Structure 1
Amino acid sequence: MSKGEGRSCKKYLAYVAVFIVFQTAIILVLAFTVMKVKSPKLRFNAMVVETFSFNNGTSTSIKMKLLAQLTIKNTNFGHFKYDESSLVILHKDEPLGEHVIPRGHTKAKKTQKLEISMDVSTDRGSGSELRNEINSGILKLSSQAKLIGKVHLLKLIEKNKSGEMKCDWHVNLGTRQIEYLKC
């Protein structure tokens, strides 16, 4: 083996070592950024009262139909596929209405908008607090939903993730408007 062959072999090994270090750095950057899977965000964008009826007989009750825009924001580099779920309208942890969210998927780095319609009835609720709120003209409600699904990355990796929503909002019974929508 001559002197020149030893140098070229060392040079070749140095190139291979630099290449391996470079590839490792790229894999680490991808693992800590692109492959980091986050839970999707589930929110109400807007909500309006479509129909409203008020019964002030022996038991005061309200029936209304709400139209809402629900958004599912997927911040991942893979699509989010979720199962059927339900959105529940509550007054003091007592359900007044429910809407089924059908199973579906949201594409990578996209926000999906769902138009939903919910029937809410205070006949299902009871208690003096509910009657007092109805008499005061402001009905304080909340809503809860949880989407359970999987984020699919590069058709190779699947991570179980879920998006949750808890919103508080008020219905002004005089103006029939949604106020204080906070998610």
Structure 2
Amino acid sequence: MIKSRRPWKICCAVTTVLLIIIIVTAFTLYFTLLKPKQPKITTQKVTLESFIINAFDTTDANVTLGVTVTVKNPNYGGFKYGNSTAYVSYRGDVVAEAPIMEDFIPARGQRDVSTTVLVVGKRLLTNSNFRKDMQSNVLNITSSTTLNGKAIVMKVFKKKATSYSSCDVSINFLDNNTTSICKSKVKF
């Protein structure tokens, strides 16, 4: 009877050791290689695509801006973000909105997300500082974008993240160009 228990004890011991090795390996892989990392979102550029002003009616002016945001996925899994909106504000007042469509970025890849923003002049003209800025031929605006998404590793591990990106943009109407300084921040 003692001999029949010995193979059973050896089998249980080997199974326990293998199970511990598998669990330790899985945790090590998760916390080193497969742990979801935050996506890096950077506003690359804000360009002046058009500036139209009606010489006979100064309340009729439109500015079209092109906004390009790069989303870089450092994970060994994909990053999926939902529909979002880019906002353009002038001295604290929102003067334009532009949709950003949902997308999926593959593992260790990046994607440029571009959108066009139409700033309606009537919203700008209600601000008392607009005339002074037009006389200096430079208009300072702020572009902000928020992307909500999740990093997906091996279709098992998912981590939600929200990225905030903000750009201070100076539009020079004489040179027909823009300069921008951008900052990004990601929260889990």
Note the aligned Cα RMSD (angstroms).
Answer: 2.9
SS at match of 1:49: strand
- Mapping for residues 32-181 of structure 1, pairs under 5 Å: 32-55=31-54, 62-125=61-124, 126-181=126-181
Contact 1:88 1:97 in 2 (8 A): yes
- Deviation, 1:23, is 4.6
Contact 1:39 1:162 in 2 (8 A): no
SS at match of 1:141: strand
Report the count of equivalent residues.
176
- Deviation, 1:76, is 1.7
Write out per-residue CA displacement over residues 97-138 of structure 1, whole angstroms, 9 at most, x where no aligned residue: 111011121111111112322212232132222322222221
- Deviation, 1:59, is 5.3
- Deviation, 1:150, is 2.0
Write out per-residue CA displacement over residues 153-181 of structure 1, whole angstroms, 9 at most, x where no aligned residue: 11112222222211111101211201133
- Deviation, 1:80, is 1.2
| Equivalent AA in structure 1 for residue 147 of structure 2 | L
Contact 2:81 2:104 in 1 (8 A): yes
Contiguous gaps of at least 5 residues in structure 1: none
- Deviation, 1:44, is 2.3
- Deviation, 1:24, is 5.3
Contact 1:41 1:164 in 2 (8 A): no
Q: Decide whether aligned partners of structure 1 residues 61 and 135 sit closer, same or farther in structure 2, where only a CA change above 3 A counts.
A: farther
